[in-house]
Amino acid sequence: MSLEKRIRNFLKGPKKGETFELKSGLVSQYKGERKDAIQRVIQAMTVGKDVSALFPDVLKNIATYDLEQKKLVYLYLMNYAKTHPELCILAVNTFVQDTEDPNPLIRALAIRTMGCIRVSKMVDYMEIPLLRTLKDDNPYVRKTAAICVAKLFDLNPEMCVEFGFLDLLKALLKDPNPMVIANSLNALYEIKDMNKDPNLDVLPITQDLIKNLLTCLNECTEWGRISILTTLTDYHTSNVEEVNHIIERVIPQLQHVNPSVVLSSIKTIIHHLDVIPSQAQRSTILKKLSSPLVSLVSSSIPEAQYVGLKNIRIILEKYPQILSKELRVFFIRYSDPLYLKLEKLEIMIRLCNEHNSSLLLSELKEYAMEFEPALVLKSIRSIGSVGINLISCVVKSINLLGDLIDQRGGDLIINEAVIVLTNILRRYPGKNDLITLVIPIISNHIQELEKSEALSGYIWLLGEYPKYFSGLKEKLSSLLEGFLEYESSLQLNILTTIVKVNLKVPGQAYSGLLQKVLELTTKECENADVRDKAYLYWRLLSSSSDDSQQKVILSKLPPIKSTVSSFNPNVLEILIQELSTMSSVFHKPAFTFIESPKATEKKRAGSSARNIEDLKNLAKQEIINNVKNENLLDFDDDDDDNDQNGESQGGSSNLLDELNDLFNTPTVPGGQSSQGSGSSSANDILSLFNAPNPTSVNGVSQGVGSMNLNSQPKNNTNSDILDLF
């Protein structure tokens, strides 16, 4: 074999194997074989094989009257156009021809596919077919062409605007066909999101447009309705008449069978509700929202139910009364997936009131007897929340927790119950009857306490109510035995408790323990926080008067308000605006986890141009973002359920850090409060800082002030230290 022949053979490609077979099939002289080969190519593409080498051969089959084959070739083209951009031009002719086909299905198919071939050269050939199809007689073609304008904008925004496609698209908003209108609206929204030119007004929402949309709302498909409802939500007006008209037209949509139409309608109504001046009218409208909201939960798709529940939680926070009679709907079903069960519990504790509390408690007891540990824990926590929120239920819930420990037992339940019981006492401090109820329950199960949160609760109670415990001395000394093995937050707890007991119990009964703990902490403990705190106590006890000792160490804590998390008002306001979107399920404002195209653009510009002005802006943007982040939420992806806690902890430790900077002290309080005292105390801190906005120095100093007055983490450390200064 000569060299030339060999080279030729090599260029022809292999003569065996799948690719070869397909290739020969594609150029077969029989129609059937060719079609079969195309199908197999697509199959190979579907399972992820690279069949881009067959591009020229597949392309040969594009001119066909067989609609199925045409679709397959088009599909192949869309997938591999990028690998052979120069060859795509060969297909252009067929595309352009097809847009003139008598069959509207083919015209639409051609223009749809043309837009999907993301090759820049294609753009030059799109002008004429697109113009033609945008003015097609058939609405099916027009609605497809409308979307194609958005595709073109994605490829080449300048050309899209220059050739007037954008204006044509805007004109389609007045089309007689509702589906064309809906698609044009969608295309404009897509363009609006992609647009980087600040001078380009893509979608001006005018009064006329709104009027037009309202009339075709009832004639659209369900998806068109959602687009229209979105536009209605983006429309801002303070004209009461107009708002009335919008709400009137949207209310019938609440009865649509598609849950996303329902949720979008609810969003639209809530958005415009504040404009209505009459309180009575507002509450009549709100009443109409309650059964549609409930219907979100009776959907047959668990995923949709879950999104519904997440949104209900946001709406409930803004309008707590809206579902007050609907508790039963949220009862857990045995067949629900776990994530639904947990979210239902969240809603249930928020709907709890005087009328339904006993029903709720008996239901919660059932859940606490279930299998899934996560559900059991949350049920126990919820029982506590009911008691904490409603004073009339405290005794009931304490007894219920006691029953649960007795009937079912187990480390899991005992630990969680002890945490909850401690929280209840923090809500109603100093109530003799409650203390005598709670403390025996806890004392019976000290051996089983493992969770550090439960242990620290118990230790705090020892310090707070020493005279209710029998054998206090033994209990304290057994704690001291394993002292060095505990984590530092528990060490701090024990230290504080022993100091407190010493001051509370007259005489020298506990001075031995005090001596021991101070020596352990100052000499053998490695943690700097623990040491520092021990030194502080030591100095305080040895040098200052009894009076100031009492004042610092035994100052009364204000009661906690609730263990049910709530949103920061700023966040809530944003979330209400973003109902039904991704942010509504993460319970985070969109800007915190969605990258806006404009921001990325700016970053790119900043790095490439190195323009000082740009850098300045960038820096400013960064600062603003940082402030926003700090201000609103400390977003950790891992802790979605408790992101409220996350926020408050973040906020508090932030503040505390700044405090530390101000006073130049070690970081005891920060670490302490966020680790040791768990969700509830974090909430306390949140409630403290709710009013002032801790962005400015001003805010910080206010924060310091309020901390000084009523700061209250569990083991008193914050106030201790602040009082020192």
Partner 1 sequence: MASQIHFLDIKGKPLLSRDYKGDIPSNTIDKFPLLLLELENSHEDGDYKPFINSQGINYIYINHNNLYLCALSRKNENIMAIIIFLSKLIEVLTQYFKSLEEESIRDNFVVIYELLDEMMDFGVPQTTDTKILKEYITQDYYKLVKKSADHLVQPPQAVTNAVSWRKDGIHYKKNEAFLDVVESINMLINASGQVLNSEILGEVKVKSHLSGMPDLRLGLNDKGIFTSPNADEEAGSSSAGQTNNKGIEMEDIKFHQCVRLSKFENERIITFIPPDGEFTVMSYRLSAAQFLMKPLILVQCKTKVHKHSRIEILCSVKAQIKKKSTANNVEVIIPIPEDADTPKFTPEYGTVKWIPEKSHIVWKLKTFPGGKQFHMRAELGLPAVTDPEEILSSNKKPIKVNFSIPYFTTSGIQVRYLRINEPKLQYQSYPWVRYITQSGDDYTVRTK
Among 14, 17, 373, 482, which residue interacts with partner 1 (rule: CB under 8 A)? Answer: 373
Binding mask 180-219 for partner 1 (x = CB under 8 A): x--x--xx--x--x------------------------xx
Task: Please say whether the beta carbons of 222 and 256 come within 8 A.
Answer: yes
Nearest approach in angstroms of CB 285 to partner 1 is 12
Q: For 557, which DSSP code? A: P
Task: Please say whether the beta carbons of 464 and 496 come within 8 A.
Answer: no
Query: What phi and psi values does residue 89 have, to the nearest 5 degrees?
Result: -60, -30
Q: Give 333 or 523: the residue with its C-beta nearer to partner 1.
A: 333
Among 25, 129, 259, 703, which residue interacts with partner 1 (rule: CB under 8 A)? Answer: 259
Query: How far, in Å, CA of 473 to CA of 644, rounded?
Result: 39
Total binding residues toward partner 1, as defined by CB under 8 A: 112
Q: For 555, which DSSP code? A: P
Structure tokens at 225: 């309705």
Nearest approach in angstroms of CB 331 to partner 1 is 5
Among 11, 30, 334, 542, which residue interacts with partner 1 (rule: CB under 8 A)? Answer: 334
Does 48 engage in binding with partner 1 (CB under 8 A)? yes
Query: How far, in Å, CA of 723 to CA of 424, rounded?
Result: 27
Q: Give 332 or 530: the residue with its C-beta nearer to partner 1.
A: 332
Does 36 engage in binding with partner 1 (CB under 8 A)? no
Pick the piece of the chain touching partner 1 (CB under 8 A) from 146-154, 427-435, 505-513, 605-613.
146-154
Pick the piece of the chain touching partner 1 (CB under 8 A) from 332-340, 446-454, 472-480, 688-696.
332-340
Q: Give 187 or 564: the residue with its C-beta nearer to partner 1.
A: 187
Among 36, 154, 234, 317, which residue interacts with partner 1 (rule: CB under 8 A)? Answer: 154
The alpha helices in 319-356, defined as continuous H runs, are: 338-350
Nearest to 503 by CA among 531, 544, 454: 544
Does 43 engage in binding with partner 1 (CB under 8 A)? yes
Does 566 engage in binding with partner 1 (CB under 8 A)? no
In the window 461-520, what residues touch partner 1 (CB under 8 A)? Answer: none
Binding mask 268-307 for partner 1 (x = CB under 8 A): ----------------x--x---xx-xx--x--xxxx-xx
Does 42 engage in binding with partner 1 (CB under 8 A)? yes
- Beta carbons within 8 Å of 606's beta carbon, 6+ residues apart: 614, 615, 617, 618
Query: How far, in Å, CA of 123 to CA of 152, rounded?
Result: 7
Pick the piece of the chain touching partner 1 (CB under 8 A) from 15-23, 373-381, 436-444, 446-454.
373-381
Q: Give 44 or 90: the residue with its C-beta nearer to partner 1.
A: 44
Q: Which helix (H) or strand (E) covers residue 378, if one does?
A: helix 373-389
The alpha helices in 428-508, defined as continuous H runs, are: 432-443, 452-464, 472-481, 488-504
Q: What amino acid is encoded at 123 in this protein?
A: V
Task: Please say whether the beta carbons of 648 and 633 come within 8 A.
Answer: no
Distances from the Cα of 534 to the Cα of 14, 395, 456, 507, 646, angstroms? 81, 38, 18, 21, 29
Query: How far, in Å, CA of 442 to CA of 402, rounded?
Result: 9
Nearest approach in angstroms of CB 491 to partner 1 is 25
In the window 633-672, what residues touch partner 1 (CB under 8 A)? Answer: 637-638, 640
Nearest approach in angstroms of CB 230 to partner 1 is 7
Q: Give 252 or 430: the residue with its C-beta nearer to partner 1.
A: 252
Nearest to 554 by CA among 688, 464, 423: 464
Does 314 engage in binding with partner 1 (CB under 8 A)? no
Task: Please say whether the beta carbons of 215 and 178 come within 8 A.
Answer: no
Q: Give 454 or 525: the residue with its C-beta nearer to partner 1.
A: 454
Burial class of 419 by CB neighbour count within 10 A (0 to 12, 13 to 18, 19+): buried
In the window 396-435, what residues touch partner 1 (CB under 8 A)? Answer: 408
Among 222, 403, 411, 636, which residue interacts with partner 1 (rule: CB under 8 A)? Answer: 222
Query: How far, in Å, CA of 271 to CA of 412, rounded?
Result: 44
Among 92, 240, 329, 390, which residue interacts with partner 1 (rule: CB under 8 A)? Answer: 329
Does 221 engage in binding with partner 1 (CB under 8 A)? yes
In the window 336-355, what residues touch partner 1 (CB under 8 A)? Answer: 337-339, 341-342
Nearest to 231 by CA among 200, 252, 204, 249: 204
Does 14 engage in binding with partner 1 (CB under 8 A)? no
Does 147 engage in binding with partner 1 (CB under 8 A)? yes
Task: Please say whether the beta carbons of 18 and 44 come within 8 A.
Answer: yes
Cα atoms in the Cβ-side hemisphere of radius 13 Å centred on 303: 1
Binding mask 595-624 for partner 1 (x = CB under 8 A): x-----------------------------
Does 137 engage in binding with partner 1 (CB under 8 A)? no
Pick the piece of the chain touching partner 1 (CB under 8 A) from 68-76, 125-133, 469-477, 478-486.
68-76
How far, rounded to the nearest angstrom, does the alpha carbon of residue 263 sit from its chain's CA centroid? 17
Nearest approach in angstroms of CB 27 to partner 1 is 21
Nearest approach in angstroms of CB 326 to partner 1 is 8
Nearest approach in angstroms of CB 1 to partner 1 is 41
Nearest approach in angstroms of CB 290 to partner 1 is 9
Q: Give 41 or 686: the residue with its C-beta nearer to partner 1.
A: 41
Q: Give 118 or 473: the residue with its C-beta nearer to partner 1.
A: 118
Query: How far, in Å, CA of 265 to CA of 218, rounded?
Result: 13
Nearest approach in angstroms of CB 137 to partner 1 is 12
Among 55, 125, 140, 163, which residue interacts with partner 1 (rule: CB under 8 A)? Answer: 140
Q: What amino acid is encoded at 369 in this protein?
A: M
Nearest approach in angstroms of CB 186 to partner 1 is 4
- Coil, helix or strand for 643? helix
In the window 519-548, what residues touch partner 1 (CB under 8 A)? Answer: none
Nearest to 246 by CA among 273, 286, 283, 280: 273
In the window 228-257, what residues touch partner 1 (CB under 8 A)? Answer: 230, 249, 251-253, 255-257
In the window 83-122, what residues touch partner 1 (CB under 8 A)? Answer: 102-105, 108, 112, 115-116, 118
Buried b / exposed e over 376-409, threshold 16 CB at 10 Å, is bbbbbbbbbbbbbbbeebbebbbebbbebbeeee
Query: What phi and psi values does residue 175 have, to the nearest 5 degrees?
Result: -60, 150
Cα-Cα-Cα-Cα dihedral of 201, 206, 211, 213, to 10°? 20
Q: Give 367 or 510: the residue with its C-beta nearer to partner 1.
A: 367
Q: What angle do CA 527, 531, 535 make, to 5 degrees?
A: 170
Does 697 engage in binding with partner 1 (CB under 8 A)? no
Q: Give 298 or 625: the residue with its C-beta nearer to partner 1.
A: 298
